[in-house]
Amino acid sequence: MRDIQNIVILTGAGVSAESGVATFRGPGGLWEGHRVEDVCTPKALERQPELVHRFYDERRAKLSTVRPNAAHEALARLDAEWTGGLLLVTQNVDDLHERAGSTRMLHMHGELKSALCAACGMRRPWDAALPPICPTCQAPTLRPDIVFFGEMPYQMDAIEAALANADLFVSIGTSGAVYPAAGFVRTARHYGAQTLELNLDPSEGSIWFDDSRMGPAGTLVPAWVEEVLRG
Ligand code: APR
């Protein structure tokens, strides 16, 4: 890709769909089986903590039964071979990008395999079901390290700095339904980046992309990475 130095990639649930991880919206999506306000808001955690913990404990346990797919692997190849700037911002809370080998990345919506204490702010890797007692401060305030609706996503400063420097912004497998992630394409365009969308169906933000390619991530992403690395 001529004069492309710095790339920012945003991924959503669609990049993990071919690994068997449920997306949120669309047929069989997680939000079909659960109301967002019942499992993904601070109020829900207060009102019915056991339902919220069960929702995330089940998704955390499922991680050991799924594997990275060709899209995760292609993005890890780009991470290893791309000599310019690269930041992979994922909305996903699974660990499939890391397991494929991506390193220049961050989870803006938190991670299933991390626990957060609402009292002392402790965050640490966590594999099993979450007990309510924080091992650091002993308060009964341990929660999934997931950014709930109404809470501020992680590392927004780093994301905004990367978007301001991006020559290319690529959105993969996201419906463009949730902000601030859904607005990143407009920020990237504002700073003069080229924009590309790789998605199974047109997203709510397709109109903002210079180029929109429809199809499964497992096919489109390896082809796109090959194109970028071949220059
Ligand atoms: N390949 C590429 N794209 C796919 C595939 C696939 N195999 N399967 C599904 N998609 C696309 C769908 O067309 C859809 O546009 O992935 C997108 C999934 O959209 P959502 O389920 O809304 O997931 P996402 O965009 O990641 O949701 C954003 O919403 O609920 C919150 O915090 C949650 O991070 C999540 C955020």
What type of residue is 114? S
Q: Is 14 in the pocket of ligand 1 (CB under 6 A)?
A: yes
Confidence class for position 129, pLDDT limits 50, 70, 90 = confident
pLDDT at 209: 98
Position 32 confidence tier, pLDDT thresholds 50, 70, 90: confident
Tell me the pLDDT band of 34, cut-offs 50, 70 and 90.
Answer: confident
Model-wide pTM > 0.95: yes
List pLDDT tens digits, range 39-93. 999 999 999 999 999 999 999 999 999 999 999 999 999 999 999 999 999 999 9
* Mean pLDDT in residue range 163-168: 98
pLDDT higher than threshold 70 for residue 169: yes
Mean residue pLDDT of the chain comes to 95
- What pLDDT score was predicted for residue 2? 55
Residues 6 or more apart from 168 whose CB is under 8 A from it?
A: 1, 4, 6, 7, 8, 193, 194, 195, 196
Average pLDDT estimate for 167-183: 97
9: β partners: 88, 170
Identify whether the C-beta of residue 130 lies closer than 8 Å to the C-beta of residue 146: no
State yes or no: pLDDT of 193 exceeds 70: yes
pLDDT given at position 31: 87
Q: Give yes or no for a contact between 67 and 214, defined as CB atoms under 8 angstroms apart.
A: no
**Could you report the per-residue pLDDT of 91-109, keeping only the tens digit for each?**
999 999 999 999 999 999 9
Choose one of 174, 179, 224 to mutate for the ligand 1 pocket test, by most ligand atoms within 8 angstroms of C-beta.
174
CA of 172 to the centre of ligand 1 (A): 9
Structure tokens at 71: 């899209």
201 Cβ closer than 6 Å to some ligand 1 atom: yes
Query: Looking at residue 206, what is its pLDDT?
Result: 97
Identify whether 53 is a catalytic site residue.
no
Tokens of 125: 């890797």
190 CB-contact burial (10 Å; exposed 0-12 / middle 13-18 / buried 19+): exposed
231 — pLDDT class (breaks 50, 70, 90): confident
pLDDT for 1 beyond 70:
no
175 lines ligand 1 (CB under 6 A): yes
- Residue of 11, 147, 179, 200 to test ligand 1 pocket, by largest number of atoms within 8 Å of CB: 200
